[in-house]
Amino acid sequence: MKIKIVPIEDAIGLQIAHDLTQIDARKGIKGARFKKGHVVKEEDLPVLRSMGRLSLPIIELDSDELHEDDAALELAGALKGENLEVEGPEEGRCRLISRVKGVVRFDQKVVNEVNQERIWSFAACPTNSVLEPGEVVAAFRILPLCLKIEDMERTLEKVKPFRVVPFRELRVALVTTGSEIKNGLIEDVFEAKLKRKLKELGGIYVGQRVCGDQKEEIVEAVKGFLEAGAQVVICTGGMSVDLEDRTPQAISEAADEVIFRGVPVIPGSNLMLARKGRAWIIGAPACVVHSERTALDRLLIALFAGLEEDIDVTRWGVGGLCMKCPVCIFPKCHFARF
């Protein structure tokens, strides 16, 4: 790479070799005022002077070099997987943007290995984050103004695509158990909370049935919703080890297979999952009523994304302790990883 410094008055008619950033703190502006390839005109000179530019670097690349924008675009192309789009380049920087609501999936070792080159600045959201359409998945830029082609090729060998797994539209029913609720002694408050969660996930709420503590009544309610087309039935209440809690027995009887009972997540360790055909039956512990984020959220995200292969609760322990911090707000909550 050869760099030639030219006074701005002598740069008229020449192309700018890289983006020129303008910062105006009073107006809240920071960005490329002049883009790479812009041909300098007479009327540009006052703006360049206001930016502190009295001269411009004219860069001539060697045959074995890439410009910063071209390098960023090559990396973006290698990283762009399903349901992602590329924004940029600008000043050697690109961003991956989610096109759908869903779960971000990538090999986090890729980010670490690319950053080991020390010619890139590569930042990504936590893997398995839940994002809305238009939100940033990753942002990266090349640190020098150009890159050797052999260095670019070495970087690309380490890269695997990112992807966003979209949520499916699942029909969800609620079976609330407990004679104290059925008899009107206390009010059920979970239904409203479940509706909020389903709105965030894009699910369809199909209704609630309140049962007593009899196993047969619970089984009947679960089967009734499944026969009516529910794809997920959530049972609340009666999930502890108390002998009078019969919800786990009812779920087992209504299901073809119990996937797990108990998970290494707090709150929500008594979570239960079973399957009936292609539908799911969930036993949600009492904590889902009073705690905003529990093991249930972790499970719902996996089911709505169709990531059944990841429902291996033996791997839920790391990150399974929900930290009740001010930033722990679904769906950005890191506790929503699995």
Name 233's Cβ contacts closer than 8 Å, sequence gap at least 6. 172, 173, 174, 175, 222, 225, 226, 279, 280, 281, 282
Closest C-alpha among 31, 13, 10 to residue 22: 31
Q: Which pLDDT tens digit goes with each residue over 271-308?
A: 999 999 999 999 999 999 988 889 999 999 999 999 98
DSSP per position, 275-310: EETTEEEEEE-THHHH-SS-HHHHHHHHHHTT-GGG
pLDDT of residue 123: 97
pTM of the model: 0.80
Where do the CATH 3.40.980.10 domains begin and end in the chain? 171-336
Q: Is the pLDDT of residue 13 over 90?
A: no
pLDDT band for position 244 (cuts 50, 70, 90): low
65-166 CATH pick, 1.10.1070.11, 3.40.50.2000, 3.40.50.150, 3.90.1170.30: 3.90.1170.30
In single-letter form, the type of residue at position 53 comes to: R
Where do the CATH 3.90.1170.30 domains begin and end in the chain? 65-166
Provide the H-helix boundaries in 120-237: 149-156, 179-182, 190-201, 215-227
DSSP per position, 36-67: TTPBP-GGGHHHHHHTT-SEEEEEE--TTEEE
Q: Determine the average pLDDT of the residues in 72-81.
A: 97
3-state class (DSSP) for residue 133: coil
171-336 CATH pick, 3.40.980.10, 1.10.630.10, 3.40.50.800, 3.30.365.10: 3.40.980.10
pLDDT band for position 59 (cuts 50, 70, 90): confident
Q: Is the pLDDT of residue 34 over 80?
A: yes
The Cα 40–Cα 58 span in angstroms is 12
pLDDT of residue 146: 84
The Cα 282–Cα 271 span in angstroms is 7
| CATH number 3.90.105.10 given to 2-60 | yes
pLDDT of residue 2: 74
Query: Tokens 């530019």 label which residue?
Result: 53
Q: Which pLDDT tens digit goes with each residue over 228-240?
A: 999 999 999 888 7
Q: Which pLDDT tens digit goes with each residue over 307-337?
A: 988 899 999 998 788 644 433 433 444 444 4
pLDDT of residue 22: 87
| Percentage of the residues of the chain whose pLDDT score is greater than 70 | 93
Q: How many CA atoms lie within 13 A of 182 on its CB side?
A: 15
Where do the CATH 3.90.105.10 domains begin and end in the chain? 2-60
251 vs 17 pLDDT, higher one: 251
Whole-number average pLDDT of the chain: 89
pLDDT of residue 334: 41
pLDDT of residue 283: 97
- Number of helices (H), then strands (E), belonging to the chain: the values are 10, 19
pLDDT of residue 312: 92
pLDDT band for position 242 (cuts 50, 70, 90): low
pLDDT of residue 337: 40
